[in-house]
Amino acid sequence: MKKTTQLKHMINRPELAFLMEAHNGLSAKVAEEAGFEGIWGSGLSISAALGVRDHNEASWTQVLEVAEFMADATTVPILLDGDTGYGDFNSMRRLIRKLEQRGVAGVCIEDKIFPKTNSFIRGSAQPLATIEEFSGKIKAGKDAQSDSDFVIVARVEAFIAGWGFEEAMKRAEAYRLAGADAILMHSALRNPTEILQFMKAWAGRLPVVIVPTKYYQTPTDVFREAGVSTVIWANHLMRSAITAMKGTAAQIFKDQALLNVEDKVATLQEVFHLQGESELEEAEKRYLPKHGRQTRAIVLAASQGEALGELTADRPKAMVNVGGKALLWHILDTYRAAGVKDLAVVRGYKKAAVNLTNVKYFDNDAYATTQEVASLACAVEAVEGDVIVSYGDVLLKKYIVQELVETDDDFVVMVDSNYHESRNKGRAADYVTCSEPSSKRAFYNTVTLKSVRPESDADVHGEWMGVVKFSQRGAKVVADKLRGLATEPERLRTMKLPDLLQLLVQGGHAVRVIYTSGHWLDVDSVDDVLVGAQF
């Protein structure tokens, strides 16, 4: 059903309809997701969002552009607050044509003089247009519309201006005869007396729209019983946004930190959801050129990271702030920069805190009693095609990921030949023995993994960096092993990734080694967090 048809149906049906105010694409999306069937494009709210007065200080083309963003962001109809039509009958004709082009379903115009002032500011001092002039404007608008379902609502300001009941009735009837699709009867009283008096006398000649901003204490059933067609909640998203923004700004200014507000504001994931980021991701898969095989990345981020103390009291290590962003954000950003867009993360401890967008999540709810291979097994369905698996606490330079992407070997690991610094610090590390140590000669040869955690220091050739790449064939081997291990739950529970690498080597698989020297960081301590901010 067209948006214009939806709006016309809402206004004319016997059941009471509701329109929620919005003032930009984001608030329009919020209103739709809350369940509202239609949106009121409030002139007051749009003006406030633009930082100007509700006195036609925002031009009609600026309002039109905002309305277009709102229409593009939503699937429900928009009734735009068109003030006085922004001029004479000719301005009205052009406005209608442009609103139809931009996907707006209807417009409400008020019988005041252009430029107008908000009805709740010195309302009784505001002049009204003559009945004849405003009726001509309605006729011009109806003649200009190309869609017969486009809705024009005539707003009567007689009660606002203090001209009384008789004038309100006279104007409403004239506007009905001029072709208006509905009458918006406006009142500034704190009770609905004027509205109910009008509804009784009007006797359903045309649908009636109301805006109970001032008489908000009136039960909605009173409007329903009086035969009101549509209720507009006219400015409450804008006003609530101001309250929230002022509170957040004051708190951050006072604290000079974000700790006391972060849990009280929308997550970035929610923002990206409202922006439709997931649709773009799907579109990229359909339309962007595919350069050869596509590589996926799986990041194992289920552990708490107890060594970081209070930093992981309410979030896992992967979500600890490093240089203003979560550690996991840096890891995923590196993958994306290297062209790896298909990203999966295995969560565990405080999994709700792992909420970055455009990521497929798998959960290891037994994170407290299992190791890394069990986490990878939770994502076994993603272990297919070309896959890079890495830890959720390891930062890598982009070229390392790119080098892994470009390899054709079934199993590839990155090994840091400059492992002595780790040994000197006494840091736990996964040392390995390779078919030959790093050298100029090794650069030209295919070096393979011989063993993980060698017993003799003399056999150590480097430190495995916590990242491994499987080809399509290699991923199938690994996925089969993971499914096989599912029948040995105790063994699966205790296995770490180095154990899986050792299993591959023992099974006769060639695990290629690519040497590097530095350019990665294993975030194991608070000092590492500080270093990572400069990584």
User: Which residues does the annotation mark as catalytic?
Assistant: 54
Q: Are 353 and 387 in contact (CB under 8 A)?
A: no
d(CA 135, CA 142): 11
Helix 89-101 vs helix 131-144: crossing angle, to nearest 10: 30
Torsions phi, psi for 383 (to 5 deg): -85, 80
d(CA 6, CA 15): 14
Helix 89-101 vs helix 60-73: crossing angle, to nearest 10: 30
d(CA 176, CA 174): 5
Q: How far apart are the first and last CA of the chain?
A: 53
Bond before 115 cis per omega within 30 degrees: yes
Q: Which of 128, 126, 123, 116 has its CA nearest to residue 47?
A: 116
Q: Are 493 and 372 in contact (CB under 8 A)?
A: no
Q: Name the token pair of 104.
A: 């707006």
Mode of pairing for the β-strands spanning 511-516 and 447-452: antiparallel
d(CA 341, CA 295): 8
Torsion (CA) 436, 385, 392, 457 in degrees, nearest 10 = -10
Q: Name the token pair of 505.
A: 């080597």
